[in-house]
Amino acid sequence: MIEFDKVQKIYPDGTEAIREFSLKVEEGEIVTLIGPSGCGKTTAMKMVNRLIEPTAGDIYINERKVNSYNIHELRWNIGYVLQEIALFPHMTIGENISVVPEMKKWKRKKIRTRIDELLEMVGLDPSTYQKRLPRELSGGQQQRIGVVRALAADPDIILMDEPFSALDPISREQLQSDIKTLQKEIKKTILFVTHDMDEAMALGDRVCLMKDGEVVQFDTPQQLILNP
């Protein structure tokens, strides 16, 4: 569960990126956050794992204020997928996926099993791909690794910030359907940022429309079609 309670963010230069922002993402739900460039989507997202601190208001994860968690504990329990592919270039795919499980001191055998399971989930043969370097994969495949890496240590919450923006339409559709499948299988709480309305409607259990740092509408895709 992720909750924003009357959150505001004013950057040091005076830009009010978020104003009176309240939003609740229920456990096991995908909420898509959509709005024009500059409306505050990324700022909202980064406050959840405390890459940015709010100026006012509170953010809760599972009923607990985010600033009451140990910062490592908080970030380990939140998978974060960025728009730019951010795999470690000198590590193999397997090593990339292992980073957080290793920090959490998972046993080797458990990590190995997890890598196989995740690669299979996104249709990449483990024996072929786990020893490869990121540059030996296509852009779409790298993005898929970015997604499963965020899931590796089984976080409760996943934040995705335009993870498909750099992809061609076919890889994009493939990944959208991967996320839907993952969601059904593992029932994660997901906050997904996009500026693509079709993507927001296709992926979201509920869709939050944002403008100028505020929520304009928050409803199911069906209701948004009926009451545009």
Please answer whether residues 163 and 131 qualify as being in contact, where contact means their C-beta atoms are separated by less than 8 angstroms.
no
Part in contact with ligand ADP (CB under 6 A); list of ranges 10-18, 136-144, 200-208, 217-225: 10-18
Burial of 7 (0-12, 13-18, 19+ CB in 10 A): buried
Part in contact with ligand ADP (CB under 6 A); list of ranges 41-49, 57-65, 103-111, 137-145: 41-49
Residue among 49, 38, 36, 1 at smallest CA distance from 160 = 49
- Specify the residue, 39 or 137, whose C-beta has the smaller distance to ligand ADP: 39
Please answer whether residues 162 and 193 qualify as being in contact, where contact means their C-beta atoms are separated by less than 8 angstroms.
yes
For ligand ADP, the binding residue among 37, 127, 222, 227 (CB under 6 A) is 37
- Specify the residue, 94 or 146, whose C-beta has the smaller distance to ligand ADP: 146
- DSSP codes, 77-134: TEEEE-SS----TTS-HHHHHHHHHHHTT--HHHHHHHHHHHHHHTT--HHHHTTS-G
For ligand ADP, the binding residue among 40, 146, 163, 204 (CB under 6 A) is 40
Closest separation in Å from C-beta 101 to ligand ADP: 27
Other CB atoms within a 10 A radius of the CB of residue 155 amount to: 18
Closest separation in Å from C-beta 42 to ligand ADP: 3
- Specify the residue, 116 or 214, whose C-beta has the smaller distance to ligand ADP: 214
Q: Which residues contact 39 (CB under 8 A, 6 or more apart)?
A: 210, 211, 212, 213
- Specify the residue, 42 or 183, whose C-beta has the smaller distance to ligand ADP: 42
- Specify the residue, 42 or 142, whose C-beta has the smaller distance to ligand ADP: 42
Ranges within 15-34 binding ligand ADP (CB under 6 A): 15, 17
Q: Which residues bind ligand ADP (CB under 6 A)?
A: 11, 13, 15, 17, 35, 37-43
